[in-house]
Structure 1
Amino acid sequence: MDSGWMAVWPVGAFFLGGIASQFTGWLNYRRQRAEKVEDDVAAAEQRREDFELSHLVEFNTLLRHRMNCLYQAELAARRYRQADAAGTVTEEHQVELGASLQLLLEAEAEVEAQIGFVLDGQVRTAAQLATLTTVWAAEAISQGTDTDFAEVRSRMAFVYNVLSQRVRDIYASRTAG
């Protein structure tokens, strides 16, 4: 009977070795798939953050340009109103005011087109506030009324802070990860 078991052990060991090898290969495959999924998720998150960062920076730049156009339009409108009050409006005053208002409209369109690319809801809400603020100020300028730039600056400071905080949060999450 011992000789019979002696013949079966090598065959059994061969099959057990094959099963163990298959099981180890399956475990390695599962581990590699899990690592690939983790890498894919990390790469997707990296792409999303890169997209968001580039659009936040672009939005900030466009918003600052919009504010500069707003200030220039206000100055042109003020010069026009002063010349009008003195009865000395020239074609130059009209051209300057028209050109500054046109630049203001173009800057407004650029800012509004960019809002849809702001991913974070809180930042998008702040971006919409910025747009409403600048539209309100632009309407006041085009109607010839004085604009309360202290209020505009206060609202825009809030928006710039929200944008800056989101950029800092994205970079902080990168260094923490």
Structure 2
Amino acid sequence: MAEWLVPLITFVLGALAAFARDYIGVRRESRRERDAREAERAAAVRERREEFELKHLVEVGELLREAHRALRDFAVGMEQCLKYGEEFPREADARLQSATGAVRAQSGYLLSDEVRAAVEELREAMAAAESWERRPTGDKPVVSFMDLKGPMERAHELISARVREIYAGRE
């Protein structure tokens, strides 16, 4: 009786061991595949996020330059208006309103809080320069491009730094 029992037990134990080995192997393979899919998804999300951010960083940089040019043209027109009695620069004013509105609308899409704050600071400085309020000590309009130089440089430097940071992460 023992002669046929030992081979049967050996066969059953061998089959169980093979089943356990295959089961563990399948689980490992499934885990590796799941991890690979999750890594691919994370990479795709990161890629979409970077593309979104790059697009809006470049767009806001261009809008800031356009707003600065529009403000300069408006300031020149207002100077001509105040000094020489020329007509109010309606076209420059409309262009300025459009440009600052576009900056305001697009700045909300910036993902970096630091960049968004710098752009908002610049936009507010431009709005203050545009408002043509009088200084308390005189009647000179509050339009100083020197006042805008610092915020403009800071906003553009932060935008450029973030773009470089994104591209450096892709290497």
User: What does 1:76-115 align with in structure 2 at a 5 Å threshold?
Assistant: 76-84=77-85, 89=86, 93-94=87-88, 97-115=89-107
Larger RCO: 1 or 2 (CA < 8 Å, sep 6+)? 1
- Uncovered stretches (5+) of structure 2, i.e. residues with no partner: none
1:25-68 superposed Cα distances (whole Å, 9 cap, x missing partner): 01110111111111111111111111111000011111111001
2:132–2:142 Cα contact (<8 Å) kept: yes
Per-residue CA deviation, residues 134-159 of structure 1 (Å, 9 max, x unaligned), is 10111128997152111212221111
Is the 1:77–1:141 contact (alpha carbons within 8 Å) kept by the matching residues of 2? no
CA shift in 2, pair 1:141/1:57, >3 Å? farther
Query: Which of 120-129 and 11-20 deviates more?
Result: 11-20
Question: What is the aligned partner in structure 2 of residue 23 from structure 1?
Answer: 24
For 1:70 and 1:15, how far apart are their aligned partners in 2?
A: 81
Q: Is the 8 A contact 1:130 1:156 kept in 2?
A: yes
TM-score (norm 1): 0.86
Partner of residue 164 from structure 2, selected from 162, 168, 174: 168
Contact 2:118/2:151 (<8 A) preserved = no
The structure 1 segments of at least 4 consecutive aligned residues displaced by more than 6 Å after TM superposition are 141-144
What are the within-5 Å matches in structure 2 for residues 29-68 of structure 1? 29-68=30-69
Instruction: Name which of 135, 154, 158 aligns with 1:158.
Output: 154
Determine the C-alpha separation between the residues in 2 that align with 1:144 and 1:40: 58
Does the CA contact (< 8 Å) of 1:53 and 1:167 recur in 2? yes
CA–CA separation in structure 1 for the residues paired with 2:133 and 2:59: 26
After superposing the two structures, state which structure 1 stretch, 61-70 or 10-19, moved more.
10-19
Quote the RMSD (CA, aligned, Å): 1.9
Contact kept? 2:63, 2:103, Cα under 8 Å:
yes
Alignment TM-score, normalising by the size of structure 2: 0.89
Q: Could you tell me which residue of structure 1 aligns to residue 126 of structure 2?
A: 134
Higher normalized helix content (fraction of residues): 1
Per the TM alignment, residue 8 of structure 1 is displaced from its structure 2 partner at its CA by 2.4
